[in-house]
Amino acid sequence: MSDCIFCNIVNREIPSYTVYEDEDVYAFLDITQTTKGHTLVIPKKHVADIFAYDEELSQKVFSRIPKIARALELAFPDMKGLNVINNNKELAYQTVFHSHFHLIPRYDESDGFKLTFTNHADDYSPNDMQEIADLIKRNVTL
């Protein structure tokens, strides 16, 4: 897709700092470097988000993430953790509409990255939780 920055990176029309590449997956340093080693993992095939993956593509992409994560851990012995983040659709903060996974090494609590969740547990009864689980179960397809 010619107007996709990540497709242009895969096609070498825009330079990048390659971390890993095979016939299906490309990983490169995120230009923002939220923390040292911040890496993006993308399918070479253009898909907008996780909802566009088929089983074959998901196996190809997801199986590479631990391999690249281990490389980060070996490259940066002072790394104490890793966030793997995937945003899907604009409301979920996706800004580049070519599916990608952020691998963000964590070094300490002041490394410039924060991720917080609001606890809404008191808003849902056990019955509500079961209804939500059942609704999702009914919609899982193989």
Active site residue 100: yes
Neighbours of 94 (CB within 10 A): 17
Question: Would you say residue 35 lies in a domain?
Answer: yes
Tally of structural domains, the chain: 1
Question: Would you say residue 54 lies in a domain?
Answer: yes
Q: Give me the CATH number covering residue 23.
A: 3.30.428.10
- What's residue 112's pLDDT? 84
Question: Would you say residue 95 lies in a domain?
Answer: yes
Q: What is the pTM of this model?
A: 0.93
- What's residue 141's pLDDT? 77
DSSP-assigned states of every residue in 107-127: -STTSS--------GGG--HH
Its domain, for residue 43, covers: 5-113
Query: In the chain, which stretches have pLDDT less than 70?
Result: 1, 142
- What's residue 2's pLDDT? 77
DSSP-assigned states of every residue in 62-81: HHHHHHHHHHHHHH-TT--E
* Encoded tokens for 40: 């993006």
List, in order, residues 6 or more apart from 122 with CB less than 8 Å away.
none
- What's residue 42's pLDDT? 98
**Catalytic entry in 98, 100, 102, 120:** 100
Question: Would you say residue 105 lies in a domain?
Answer: yes
Question: Would you say residue 32 lies in a domain?
Answer: yes
